[in-house]
């Protein structure tokens, strides 16, 4: 079964620190890699996404780094804030012939004030 492996399962970071969440995928046909952010009591919301033809994408404090040869991608949250405390999911999608996403298992991030 297609999988997207995500680590760590949980992460505690001091305010102002860098949070790093990693994902690895198996199917090379994936062509789109979004990250979702979910706050308690809410549904996941699209945060940032990347295509494999670029190695990095930055939006504000959030950066995706992409390593196509290793089939890995990661989310970096710079200057982490308590308001960033949430669960983060990576996903892989865009494969030819399917519009489904394969989601990672999620990382619960807590940023200490």
Partner 1 sequence: ETGVTQTPRHLVMGMTNKKSLKCEQHLGHNAMYWYKQSAKKPLELMFVYNFKEQTENNSVPSRFSPECPNSSHLFLHLHTLQPEDSALYLCASSPLTFPYEQYFGPGTRLTVT
CB of 66 to partner 1, least distance (A): 14
Binding residues among 7-46 for partner 1 as defined by CB under 8 A: 31-32, 34, 36, 41-46
Q: Which is nearer to partner 1, 46 or 78 (CB)?
A: 46
When the beta carbons of 41 and 83 are compared against partner 1, the nearer one is: 41
Q: Which residues contact 75 (CB under 8 A, 6 or more apart)?
A: 19, 20, 21, 23, 35, 47, 48, 62, 63, 64, 88, 90
Q: Which of 76, 26, 30, 36 is nearest to 51 (CA)?
A: 30
Q: Does 52 bind partner 1 (CB under 8 A)?
A: no
- Separation of first and last alpha carbons in the chain: 40
Residue 88 touching partner 1 (CB under 8 A):
no
Interaction site with partner 1 (CB under 8 A): 31-32, 34, 36, 41-46, 49, 51, 89, 93-94, 99-101, 103-106
């Amino acid at each position: 079964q297609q999988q997207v492996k995500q680590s760590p399962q949980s992460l505690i970071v001091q305010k102002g620190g860098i949070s790093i969440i990693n994902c690895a995928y198996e199917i090379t046909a994936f062509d789109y890699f979004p990250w979702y952010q979910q706050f308690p009591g809410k549904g996941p919301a699209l945060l940032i996404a990347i295509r494999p033809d670029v190695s990095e994408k930055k939006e504000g404090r959030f950066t995706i780094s992409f390593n196509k040869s290793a089939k890995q991608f990661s989310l970096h949250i710079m200057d982490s804030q308590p308001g960033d405390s949430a669960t983060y999911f990576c996903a892989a999608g865009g494969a030819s012939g399917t519009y489904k996403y394969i989601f990672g298992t999620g990382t619960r991030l807590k940023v200490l004030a």
